[in-house]
Amino acid sequence: MRPTRIAVTVSAIAAAMFAVSGPARADQATGNGRQQAMASTVVYTLDSSTHGNPEGVAWDGRHFYVGATGDGTIYRGTLGDRTVHTFIKGKPGRSSVGLKTFNGRLYVAGGMTGKIFVYDLSDPDDRPIVLNTGTGGFLNDLVVTGKGDVYVTDSFRPTLWHVAAGQVRKGGSVEAIPVSPEIRYTANAFNLNGIVSFNNGRELVVVNTADGRLYRIRFDRMGGRTITGVDAQPLVGGDGMIVEDGKLIVVRGNPASLTFLKLNEGRSLARIVNMVTDPSLRGPSTVAAAGRRYLVVNADFASSRKPFTVSGLPRQDNED
């Protein structure tokens, strides 16, 4: 079902996210997972909190990047510096939500702008490549495949957006892939959100924030798509995701945590094997694996307490 098109401000985003996630509670264990407070957390602070709530994070092997929803400001940090510095100044008409790096470029899902921004990290002051999906949506998260194709989730329109690698380079066309009726959208709510890729982009797994369901999207050689639900406990409020060593790591706001799920070989089944919480988490939105840490963005849409921060949680072995 196509959701009603609505005009959304940053404050409305905060209210909607809070309605989906609710206040964080670290005492709510789910499934067979276990909760574990992690020691030695490092908190990184954005050098300016005047550009809107932070949302996305990406790691390029040396630096990590954090985006601001208000004007698209991009911050850059290192694991050894507890201040995350302004790297690309924001501008009116921009917004930075989901982020990924690939081959020296930073890919940005532009939220309400309906645009995908692609920055050359070697020349960050240059104008980005801009790919437009039109109005009425919310581009939330994205993934870049090994061959350079980009897939972007839309939380308001029941559509997955695809940009072929060649189209990215020339700022060309964006393909709209419908995800209905298999994925049910809830009107006036955030729906498709986090996304990860398998088999060089021939298979994706996405999470629906509104109902917490995971879906597997497979593409055949003729371009057709098959969407099936993953048999897993619903992760209502599920947001950003990464995959690591056969485990899907999902950021959730309620409880404020990283939830680890073990996927079967066909990615038709997932079971919770661990849940990690930390006192520094404040309305977390997404995660990147960086060195020996998980970098979790504290979007904090519920209270927008400043300064905005990123929690660096130590990575550890997680039991199956």
- Digit-coded pLDDT (tens) for 84-103: 999 999 999 999 999 999 99
Q: What is the pTM of this model?
A: 0.88
What pLDDT, on a 0 to 100 scale, did the predictor assign at position 36?
Answer: 45
3-state secondary structure of 170: helix
Return the closest-CA partner of residue 143 out of 195, 186, 76, 108. 195
State how far the alpha carbon of 271 is from the alpha carbons of 33, 188, 192, 262, 274, in Å. Answer: 8, 29, 20, 5, 9
Tokens of 43: 């908190």
Q: What is the pLDDT of residue 125?
A: 78
Using alpha carbons, select from 201, 249, 239 the residue that is nearest to residue 102.
201
**How much is the pLDDT for 64?**
98
pLDDT (mean) for 232-236:
96
Segment 247-261 shows an average pLDDT of: 96
Pairing of β 83-88 and β 42-46 = parallel
Range of weakest confidence among 36-45, 69-78, 184-193: 36-45
Mean pLDDT of 126-131: 92
Predicted confidence band of residue 317 (pLDDT cuts 50, 70, 90): low
Per-residue confidence band for 6, with pLDDT thresholds at 50, 70 and 90: very low
Q: How high is the pLDDT of residue 10?
A: 39
Give Cα separations from 198 to 90, 183, 201, 235, 246 (angstroms): 33, 19, 6, 21, 11
Instruction: State the average pLDDT for the chain.
Output: 89
Mean local confidence (pLDDT), 221-225: 86
Q: Which tens digits make up the pLDDT trace of 146-181?
A: 999 999 999 999 999 999 999 998 899 999 999 999
Q: Which of 263, 261, 265 is nearest to 273 (CA)?
A: 261
Three-state secondary-structure class, residue 2? coil
The pLDDT value given to residue 37: 43
Domains with residue ranges and CATH for the chain: 10-314 (2.120.10.30)
Asked if pLDDT for residue 13 goes beyond 70, the answer is: no
